């Protein structure tokens, strides 16, 4: 039997990957303010979900979906593409966790 994974555990994994994505996007100096404001807003939204539902267990399918999204953004090496994903990735995470973006 495997240990149950909580929403909070998986959301923290997703946030760690998001931090890496935001760091890459911050390399574009002209977009720094936009990147930091956007990433702060999405981090806040996911952290609010953790505060509300962090102890709930999630399904293996949800874990797999978030892991695949983490893998996808880990492949991004272009800062401009990272900026494109700063809004997309958190929405994938939130919808996977049964939340509205």
pTM, 2 dp: 0.92
pLDDT score at 72: 97
| Of residues 48, 56, 53, 46, the one with CA closest to residue 95 | 46
Residue numbers in the chain where pLDDT is lower than 50: 1
Q: What angle do CA 63, 68, 73 make, to 5 degrees?
A: 130
**Could you report the per-residue pLDDT of 39-58, keeping only the tens digit for each?**
999 999 999 999 999 999 99
DSSP 99: -
């Amino acid at each position: 039997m495997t240990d149950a994974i909580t929403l909070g555990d998986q959301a923290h994994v997703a946030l760690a990957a998001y931090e890496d994505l935001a760091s890459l996007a911050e390399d574009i100096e002209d977009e720094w303010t936009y990147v930091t404001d956007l990433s702060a807003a999405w981090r806040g939204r996911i952290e609010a979900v953790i505060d509300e539902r962090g102890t709930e267990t999630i399904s293996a399918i949800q874990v797999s979906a978030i892991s695949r999204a983490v893998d996808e953004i880990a492949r991004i090496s272009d800062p401009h593409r990272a900026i494109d994903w700063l809004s997309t990735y958190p929405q994938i995470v939130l919808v996977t966790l049964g939340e509205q973006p």
